[in-house]
Amino acid sequence: MFFSENFLQQWNPIIKAGCVIHDVLSDFLVRYLKQVKIILLMLAHLSLIGFLFPQFGRSFGNFAQNLLLVILLVSPLSKLFRMKLLYQLMSLRRELGIWFAYMAIVHSLSYILNPEWFGTFIALFLSQPLSMMPRYLFGVLALILTLPLLITSNTLSLTILKGNWKKLHWLVYPLFAFMLLHIFLPRRLGIGNDIFGFLQASLAFGAYVLLKMLAKNNFLTPLREVNEYVAQRYVEYRSSSV
Ligand code: HEM
């Protein structure tokens, strides 16, 4: 055993609280999943009002980044920890994806529609896009990949595209890589800064790939032990609350 029984038992109160919160949220989603989906879609459309507040452009970008992280992490985490709530959250990915795309568009346009910013960072490079500042080139590439995913986030596209829909939505991975490069690459040019920014983006992407691998096969003994311990505590909690 990697962790001693004593060490794991110290966490019982927190694990119990986690079981209670898990079941409250999970029961809520069982009852109100449809309403939650409608509210998420309404919030996504409401957030388009952000067009009127370009001064919050950066915050919209941060919000878009967090939505994409939730969408990308919920699937491997659900496979790794096999929690009902995580599986339920997976059924909200379409609504969260639409919200992500709207926020990314509002964020991007808050800069693109700013004549000074556009003139300095975009207009000069339209004839030679590859000479654009890497940070913004990857932002533009991330936005370009967001559009087909947004346009096909509906049942009609799923029906028409069939198996190709999943292939198309595989684009979310290069989108994620471009977003990380857009976030971590520096505003100030300089080879040192670029390498450091690239390393940060690669580390973040690498961590995601590791999580996907663990979701396929949990080869980390300590994590497996914690997983099994928490699963046993959850079974005990359920049987004691029946
Ligand atoms: C999917 C598309 C995009 C996402 C998710 C995204 C996300 C983000 C995030 C999270 C930040 C904040 C980073 C920080 O706090 O350091 C940011 C900053 C920024 N983004 Fe984006 N972005 C996207 C596309 C774009 C596009 C297309 C443009 C413009 C053409 C753009 C222009 C900017 C600017 C100007 C900043 C402010 C930081 C700076 O001055 O460099 N972004 N973006």
| Domain assignment present for 2 | no
- Determine whether the shortest distance from the Cβ of 139 to ligand 1 is under 6 A: yes
| Domain assignment present for 1 | no
| Domain assignment present for 3 | no
CA 128 to chain centre: 31
Which residue range(s) make up the domain with 107?
A: 8-241
| Domain assignment present for 118 | yes
Q: Are 103 and 51 in contact (CB under 8 A)?
A: no
Report CA-CA distances (Å) from 226 to 23, 81, 141, 170.
19, 10, 40, 31
Measuring from atom 32 of ligand 1, which residue has the nearest CA?
A: 108
Which element (helix H / strand E) includes 122? Answer: none
Share of the chain above pLDDT 70, in %: 98
CA–CA separation, 127 vs 122, rounded Å?
A: 10
Assessment of whether the complete model's pTM goes beyond 0.85:
yes
User: pLDDT of 144-185, one tens digit each?
Assistant: 999 999 999 999 999 999 999 999 999 999 999 999 999 998
Give the pLDDT confidence score for residue 162 in this predicted structure.
93
Distance 101 CA to ligand 1 centre (A): 13
Is residue 190 classed as helix, strand or coil in its secondary structure?
Answer: coil
Distance 43 CA to ligand 1 centre (A): 21
Measuring from atom 14 of ligand 1, which residue has the nearest CA?
A: 183
- Determine whether the shortest distance from the Cβ of 187 to ligand 1 is under 6 A: yes
Distance 41 CA to ligand 1 centre (A): 23
CA–CA separation, 155 vs 90, rounded Å?
A: 16
> Average model confidence (pLDDT) for the chain?
93
Is residue 215 classed as helix, strand or coil in its secondary structure?
Answer: helix
The total of other beta-carbon atoms located within 10 Å of residue 185's CB is: 22
The two structure tokens encoding residue 2:
């990697």
Give the pLDDT confidence score for residue 189 in this predicted structure.
59
Domain count within the chain: 1
Q: Are 242 and 18 in contact (CB under 8 A)?
A: no
**80-89, 130-139, 167-176: least confidently modelled range:** 130-139
- The pLDDT confidence band at residue 84, using thresholds 50, 70 and 90, is very high
CA atoms within 13 A on the CB side of 102: 19
User: pLDDT of 93-125, one tens digit each?
Assistant: 999 999 999 999 999 999 988 888 888 777 777
- The pLDDT confidence band at residue 133, using thresholds 50, 70 and 90, is confident
Measuring from atom 23 of ligand 1, which residue has the nearest CA?
A: 139
| Domain assignment present for 19 | yes
CA–CA separation, 93 vs 86, rounded Å?
A: 11
Distance 184 CA to ligand 1 centre (A): 10
Q: Are 57 and 111 in contact (CB under 8 A)?
A: yes
Q: Which amino acid is at 223?
A: L
Q: How many residues does the chain have?
A: 242
